[in-house]
Chains A and B, each alone.
Chain A
């Protein structure tokens, strides 16, 4: 394995080795460069970090617990399983870490209008919450298909005062919502900040979003050392764009004894158009500002994707994940819709926790590997979000059986 220095990426122009970068139209270049500069200034400003820490603690509920999942551990009979409880955060998922950080950046830059895309709706809810907290105008772009399968989150965003714009282009999911948000930003760039919700898109977003989520892994490390007195053996997280995973893994990248596994959405199985697992059948390409692994056909057109989980249903993976995969520091596997739904059910019944369908992909992987691991093995899954938003959809799949 090549030695890893997690602080060395991205470089000053946003590249993770040969991945990442700023592949955007000229109208956005200046805004992105301004954002990069402002972000670097903010991170050097103790006041900024102090304000963010206060919000994360008192408004969002950090630190989140690291919870010993006794029921699941007993059921699987192998590794000792812990869950990092990001599902207990305000608004129900890790997404609020980034939304709070970016709203403070927007305020520093004097922007009065906030836009965002959302897939599962968690990032939209987090952004609408942050905007409401600071009294900023907020517009959320969401695919029409996602609006239907995540109707509860649409209602939440509206209660929070956001305008939710339905995007009907293409397959009407996350990718199209990002296209529309970027078009809005190109048009309103002078007064608007775009709070991108995952570790993807053009630089500086993959860096900024990762950094605002690094707290997940940093807390986890402190907590496991306190509880078990040693580093964990294996971390597992789901990967759509990859924000919860990179935030969870980051503090452990320099600890070679800790295995890291990202779980992509296997959908209905790895056949074209039926999944969202970029490392299974994807190609090196450029989508929405970044060079990374994408699901594209031989003509370079972006392929349809499918996942039961709206938050993982996206054709490109964050560039930092491509970088660490090449370096064999993070391994990637996938879980299918059926496996994720089964995990959703298993965690609910055996642990009393209903996970988001996204996070259920990580649990599905835990269910696969834990039984064959020794009882001394410390396995931690990031429970990135709670499943309230998915109850209706899961009921259609799971409760209709006789």
Chain B
């Protein structure tokens, strides 16, 4: 069987430039939205999952859904610090941070509206426990004082959060002494200070959570089983930090995905119709040409293939354009409240090879579906009638 040369397909598209461009534009917009939504959901997940370190474990009260609703008492912290499963730091001290997480309101720069900001009281080992967090301006806060450091996302989005500024919360004033870069993780959207100072200021007798490094990275299950048998640990639950943060992203990410998929499915229907209109017109305009091709000896299947390829080329070019447009979104960052932690989280659009692949497959599917019926019509034309058409 002889194949219709690709140059024929290419020239046909070029001959109707305006129509071709309009169709490509339609597909590109749909793919743009499709890719954008996936990038957003992925960006959120990446931000939260990266927040957890693979060797760290978080301890929360059983069935607490977030650090905000969790309470862990001092006794539990003491038991854990003596536990051999907890890694030791430089001076043989346990790598464990006792933390309290609360939410305060600050004014946003852009909208002047109140935004929820997480504040986290930490112990001396917190920075060692989370090597991804660096001070980029100023210095670390001193324990025992009312000094705090702020994440860079907070510093850039909220009013009055600059080096040396005073924040008022918990019936007291707190001095910002440093700005931290946590590498795009959720810690970028937090304010850190001394856990004891925070608890005193807010009159809170218990911690929210404990985080510690595993002495033996593979020993999580073993440690969990052992601690679960300990009567003093009955009311708490151990989780891999990664798993915990993954759970925190779930509701919002799922919401973004469902919303995005519903919208793009409807959109894609519109784009397929656009491709169909273009291809039907292409077939109608070229009836004589199709007749000629058939008379020259090209088979029905070749004609079907040629028109189908034409439609797929249209869709692929549109898809590539859409992905290219979406790639620009990587520069944008957005900040919304994650209702699971009831505080702002800043994240970006993250493009991944998987998203590019899905977007292009999506485009090709639109091209095939949109082009199939018109291509069938072209293939089924009767040679004599087609040649006679005007």
Q: Do A and B bind each other?
A: no
Q: Which B residues are within 8 Å of any A CB, using their own CB?
A: none
